[in-house]
Amino acid sequence: MSLIVNPFDRSDLFLETKHHAIVAEAISRADGEKPFKRYIDAWWLALCIGVRKDHRVKLSGDTTKFNDGGIFSSDPWRIIHLQLLGLSWLGSTALDHPTQIIQLSSEYVNGGIEWIVDTIHGQPNRTLAIYNRISEFESS
């Protein structure tokens, strides 16, 4: 079994404070009407949406730390994906700058989190709301 080194383990992960509480309401390990089991799952979906829409928004000064990069070790594929994104954003030296990769990722997350918040706000079944709206990202 090969091991993947986590270069992001000392990086803090943040959400805008205004979004943190809304995301918290969409997290449950057992409720099928809540789409996320962990904050990192919401963060990751927001990252994917931000990248897909090519929408980056710098974090304001009003943020809430929800975890650190050590969480990526529980899903090593996320480490590889972040490194690949870093290479596409920063070029061949990206792997030497994990902090910069997390910073850019956080900006894409912040660009995608609005989509999640808009989608789940006021919805009784937030999971279904996301499934119904995700089709807007399908390529034609």
**Residue ranges of the domains in the chain?**
12-134
Spell out the per-residue pLDDT of the chain, length 140, in tens. 457 899 999 999 999 999 999 999 999 877 667 899 999 999 999 999 999 999 999 999 899 999 999 999 999 999 999 999 999 999 999 999 999 999 999 999 999 999 999 999 988 889 999 999 998 888 64
Retrieve residue 7's tokens.
């270069």
| Helix ranges (DSSP H) in 91-136 | 98-120, 126-133
* Beta carbons within 10 angstroms of residue 34's beta carbon: 16
C-alpha 69: how far from chain center: 12
DSSP string covering 3-35 = ----TTTT-EEEEEHHHHHHHHTTB-SS-TTS-
Instruction: Give the pTM.
Output: 0.92
Residues found in the chain = 140
